[in-house]
Amino acid sequence: MIDVALLGIIRRWYIRDRISIREIARRLDISRNTVRRYIRSDVSEPAYPARRSPSSLDEFTARLSAWLSAEAVKSRKQRRTLKQMFLDLRELGYEGSYDRVAAFSRQWKVGQMERVKSASKSTSKICAWFGIARRSAYYKPVKAEPKVQERFAEPIRKMILEEPSFGYRTVAGLLGFNKNTVQRIFQIKGWQVKKRPIGFRPRVKALPSVATGPDQRWATDLCRIWTGRDGWAMLALVIDCHTRELLGWHLSRSGKSKTAESALEQALIGNPPGN
């Protein structure tokens, strides 16, 4: 194989240095006909035919082509998938990979389309030759762009601008819309609330909450409540696990850690340790 650098050496020796073709062939240990062909041609880079390596699918190509032709005339629901054909080939002794079968199927489809385009006969005759339905030749998949009605989108947009943490269920409940409609608008507009990555997270070992007397174990929780005209608010509570008494609470517009800290501070002020 001659690369571009070697081709430049051949032409420089022959044109500038006036070295004979025989001497060039002897120095480079290549054929004189090869040297002569590239000196007289106008190509700047030699082209070689693509190498074709033997494949384990070669002995099954005729059978696979017949299967693809037979399945092409069937309706979409009645066709066998390429995965099923691959499993059938494995039963017949094929030991190659599925990727090779998929590549052959793509090449087969491209070849069929080129044969259809190159033919000058009518569509009905072409379909009769290849054994396919005429609707397959005329079919062009057209998917309309999704449409969103502004009477739904505008109220949703205003609400999520005010409360970015609201999901589609909360928005649908507050606006009185169908939750599937709201979810679809969220997906089309890209308004979904970002989810945390799915994966392993360290967990705290769960222990039973057992308290034999007051002030042995406290518990806290944070919940969201609807306050009417003022919107949503976050309520933090602290209770005694033994007496179930409410020790402290705090109400705020945000659910930050300061809300829980204020509830715990109120519980400590009202019930100092050691009392």
Task: Output the 3-class SS for 164-218.
Answer: CCCCHHHHHHHHCCCHHHHHHHHHHHCCCCCCCCCCCCCCCCCCCCCCCCCCCCE
Distance CA 60, CA 69 (A): 14
Q: Does 172 share its domain with 134?
A: no
- 24: number of Cβ within 10 Å: 21
What is the rounded CA–CA span in Å between residue 209 and residue 12?
91
How confident is the model at residue 237, as a pLDDT? 93
Question: Residue 195 domain-assigned?
Answer: no
Has residue 42 got a pLDDT over 80? no
Report the SS3 class of residue 25. helix
Are 129 and 84 contained in the same domain? Answer: yes
Return the closest-CA partner of residue 35 out of 27, 134, 180: 27
Q: Is the dihedral of CA 266, 269, 272, 275 positive or negative?
A: negative
Are 133 and 154 contained in the same domain? Answer: no
* Average pLDDT, integer, range 195-221: 70
Name residue 221's beta-bridge partners.
237
Greater confidence (101 vs 43) lies with 101
| Cβ(50)–Cβ(65) below 8 Å | no
Cα–Cα nearest to 99, from 56, 54, 53: 56
Segments forming the whole domain that contains residue 172: 150-189
Could you tell me if 163 and 114 lie in one domain?
no
**76 and 17 in one domain?**
no
- The mean pLDDT value of the chain amounts to 80
Exposure of 114 in the CB half-sphere (CA atoms within 13 A): 6
Task: Label residue 249 by pLDDT band (50, 70, 90).
Answer: very high
39-48, 116-125, 154-163, 177-186: range with lowest mean pLDDT: 39-48
Instruction: Tell me the residue ranges of DSSP E strands in 32-129.
Output: none
Task: Give the pLDDT band (50/70/90) at residue 178.
Answer: very high
pLDDT at 37: 78
Residue 53 domain-assigned? no
> Do residues 71 and 134 share a domain?
yes
Domain-embedded: residue 241: yes
Residues 63 and 134 in one domain: yes
Together in a domain, 127 and 157: no
Pair (18, 66) in one structural domain: no
Answer whether residue 204 is part of any domain: no
Q: Is a pLDDT exceeding 90 seen at residue 236?
A: yes
Whether 205 is covered by a domain: the verdict is no
- Decide if 236 contacts 222 (C-beta within 8 A): yes
Cβ–Cβ under 8 Å, residues 85 and 96: no
Residues 130 and 156 reside in one and the same domain: no
Of 13-17, 111-115, 253-257, least confident by mean pLDDT is: 111-115
pLDDT value for 110: 78
Q: What is the DSSP letter of 239?
A: E
| pLDDT value at residue 177 | 92
Check whether residue 116 and residue 75 sit in a common domain: yes
Whether pTM > 0.75 for this model: the answer is: no
Looking at residues 54-64, what average pLDDT do you find?
A: 86
Q: Which of 109, 138, 167 corresponds to the end of one domain?
A: 138
For position 250, what pLDDT does the model report? 92
Instruction: Tell me, yes or no, whether 196 lies in a domain.
Output: no
The answer to whether residue 209 is domain-embedded is no
Tally the domains of the chain. 4
| Banded pLDDT at 17 (limits 50, 70, 90) | confident
> Are residue 64 and residue 134 in the same domain, yes or no?
yes
Q: 212: exposed, middle or buried (C-beta count within 10 Å: 0-12, 13-18, 19+)? A: exposed
User: Of 145, 152, 192, which Cα lies nearest the Cα of 169?
Assistant: 192
What are the DSSP calls for 4-18, one per residue?
Answer: HHHHHHHHIIIIIS-
* Averaged pLDDT for residues 160-179: 86
Residue-level pLDDT at 180? 92
The fraction of the chain above a pLDDT of 70, given in percent, is 78
192 versus 177: the higher-pLDDT residue is: 177
**Euclidean distance between CA atoms 46 and 7, whole angstroms:** 8
What is the Cα–Cα distance from 160 to 177, expressed in whole angstroms? Answer: 14
Give the pair of three-digit tokens for residue 131: 């054994």
pLDDT surpasses 80 at 169: yes
Q: Could you give the C-alpha distances from 220 to 23, 60, 258, in angstroms and in order?
A: 94, 69, 13
For 218, how many CA atoms within 13 A lie in the half-sphere containing its CB? 19
> Would you say residue 124 lies in a domain?
yes
The rounded distance, in Å, linking the Cα atoms of 173 and 169 is 6
